[in-house]
C-alpha cells in the first residue's frame, strides 16, 4: 500500500516512487483527495480499500489526508486522468481544471500541484509516471534528441489538457486508460504494450508542441531554478526558525523578489509553503516513528505544541493523535 508519504519526496519536493523498476521505469497510482469536512469516514474508506473491496491493486494506492497534492516535481513525464470529481492541476503558469474523464500531461521536471475544485468533496484519479529512458533507447539515440528532449528540456512546456468532450482528445485519453489497465492486469507483454501506447502519446505531444502548448514566454529556466532552490532551502531548514529573507537569500534574491516568485508562480506565500511542508513532515513522523507529539512538533519547526495541534487539525482535519491512530489501524489490516 502506498500512503501519501510513501511516495517519496527529496531535494525539496522532488518526487520519486521507491518501487519504480530501473529496468521498466514506469509506475501507476490510484489517488484520492478528500475535503476536510468529508474526512470523518476516511478510516472506513481506507479499511474498505485494504480489505480489497475497491477492486484496485493494493500496491498502487495513494490516499491523501490533505486537500492537495503539494508542489513538487519529478524527472518523469506524467499522465493523469480524473475518475471521479473535479480538481485543478496547477503549474507555475497554468491552472488546468479537470472534470471527470479529463486528463492532463505534465512535463518532466515541471513544478506542479493538485487541489480540489471549490464545492467538491472528493476526487479520485489515476496517475502514471514514466522515465524517458523507457522510450528513448540507447544513449545518443535519434528518438531522444529528435522527439523527447525538445519537450523535456523546455521549461515553458508544462501541462497539456485533454478534454473528454473533444473528439480529437478522446482516443488519447483512451490510450492513457489502456496503459493504466494494462499495467494492473500484468499480462505477458504488458511492458511492450505500455511502451507503445506511451510512445504514441508522446508523439502527439511533439506534434502539438508548436501549435497547442502555451508559450509561457514569461517563464524561464532561471526562474524555474530559482524557485526550486528556495524550495530546497526550506526542505533542509524547515526545522529551524527561518524568515522570508533567509529563503530569498538562498537563491540570491531580495525579500520582495522571493515573495513575488512564490505569489506569482506557486500561488501562495513562502510562509504558507513552509507550513505545508512542516505539516507533511509531521505526517511522515506520525506514520513512521514512535516519537511523541511534542517531539514531532519540535522536530518540524513549530513554535509550540498547541500551535502545532491547531495548524495540523486545520490542514489535515484531525489531531496528530487521531491521524496516527487512523494510519496505524488501517495499515494493520494489510498485514
- For the full predicted model, state whether its pTM sits above 0.75: yes
* DSSP letter for each residue of 57-73: -TTSEEEESSSEEEEEB
Residue 142: exposed, middle, or buried by beta-carbon count in 10 A (0-12, 13-18, 19+)? exposed
Look at residue 8 and give its three-state secondary structure.
strand
Question: What's the Cα-to-Cα distance from 41 to each of 53, 65, 85, 175, 248, rounded to whole Å?
Answer: 15, 11, 17, 33, 41
Going from the first residue of the chain to its last (335 residues), give the mean pLDDT of each consecutive group of 10, the final group possibly shorter. 37 51 88 71 53 49 72 94 95 94 95 91 92 88 91 88 95 95 93 96 81 60 91 96 97 97 95 95 93 97 95 91 84 56
Half-sphere exposure of 303 (CA within 13 A, CB side): 6
Q: What is the pLDDT of residue 3?
A: 36
pLDDT score of 126: 92
In the numeric block, which cell numbers belong to residue 209? 508542441
Output the nine-digit C-alpha cell for 53: 473491496
Instruction: Classify residue 334 by its DSSP letter.
Output: T
**Distance between first and last Cα of the chain:** 10
For residue 138, the model assigns a pLDDT of: 81
pLDDT in tens, 102-126: 999 999 999 999 999 888 988 999 9
∠ Cα 271 89 61 (to 5°): 95
CA atoms 81, 82, 86, 89: torsion sign? negative
Give 215's contacts (C-beta < 8 A, 6+ positions apart): 156
Distance CA 178, CA 171 (A): 10
E strand or H helix at 33: strand 26-34
Which domains are delineated in the chain?
Answer: 2-213 (2.60.120.280), 222-332 (1.10.10.60)
Picking from 181, 163, 184, the residue whose alpha carbon sits closest to that of residue 172 is 163
- 114, 75, 84: which is closest to 97 by C-alpha? 114
Amino acid at each position: 500500500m502506498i500512503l501519501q508519504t510513501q511516495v517519496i519526496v527529496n531535494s525539496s519536493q522532488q518526487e520519486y516512487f521507491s518501487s519504480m523498476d530501473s529496468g521498466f521505469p514506469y509506475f501507476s497510482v490510484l489517488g484520492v483527495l478528500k475535503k476536510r469536512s468529508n474526512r470523518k469516514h476516511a478510516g472506513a474508506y481506507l479499511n474498505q480499500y485494504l480489505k480489497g473491496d475497491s477492486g484496485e491493486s493494493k500496491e498502487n494506492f495513494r490516499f491523501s489526508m490533505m486537500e492537495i497534492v503539494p508542489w513538487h516535481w519529478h524527472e518523469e513525464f506524467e499522465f493523469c486522468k480524473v475518475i471521479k470529481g473535479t480538481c485543478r492541476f496547477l503549474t507555475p503558469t497554468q491552472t488546468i481544471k479537470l472534470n471527470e474523464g479529463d486528463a492532463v500531461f505534465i512535463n518532466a521536471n515541471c513544478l506542479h500541484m493538485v487541489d480540489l475544485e471549490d464545492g467538491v468533496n472528493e476526487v479520485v484519479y489515476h496517475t502514471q509516471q514514466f522515465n524517458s529512458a523507457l522510450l528513448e533507447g540507447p544513449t545518443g539515440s535519434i528518438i531522444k534528441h529528435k522527439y523527447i528532449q525538445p519537450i523535456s528540456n523546455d521549461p515553458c512546456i508544462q501541462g497539456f489538457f485533454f478534454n473528454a468532450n473533444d473528439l480529437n482528445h478522446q482516443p488519447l485519453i483512451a490510450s492513457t486508460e489502456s496503459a493504466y489497465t494494462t499495467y494492473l492486469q500484468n499480462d505477458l507483454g504488458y511492458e511492450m504494450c505500455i511502451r507503445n501506447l506511451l510512445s504514441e502519446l508522446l508523439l502527439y505531444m511533439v506534434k502539438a508542441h508548436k501549435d497547442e502548448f502555451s508559450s509561457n514566454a514569461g517563464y524561464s529556466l532561471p526562474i524555474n531554478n530559482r524557485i526550486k532552490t528556495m524550495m530546497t532551502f526550506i526542505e533542509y531548514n524547515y526545522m529551524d526558525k527561518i524568515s522570508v529573507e533567509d529563503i530569498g537569500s538562498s537563491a540570491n534574491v531580495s525579500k520582495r523578489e522571493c515573495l513575488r516568485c512564490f505569489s506569482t508562480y506557486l500561488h501562495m506565500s513562502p510562509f504558507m509553503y513552509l507550513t505545508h511542508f512542516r505539516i507533511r513532515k509531521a505526517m511522515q513522523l506520525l506514520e513512521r516513528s514512535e516519537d511523541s507529539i511534542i517531539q514531532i512538533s519540535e522536530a518540524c519547526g513549530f513554535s509550540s505544541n498547541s500551535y502545532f495541534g491547531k495548524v495540523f487539525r486545520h490542514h489535515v482535519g484531525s489531531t496528530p493523535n487521531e491521524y496516527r491512530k487512523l494510519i496505524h489501524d488501517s495499515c494493520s489490516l494489510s498485514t
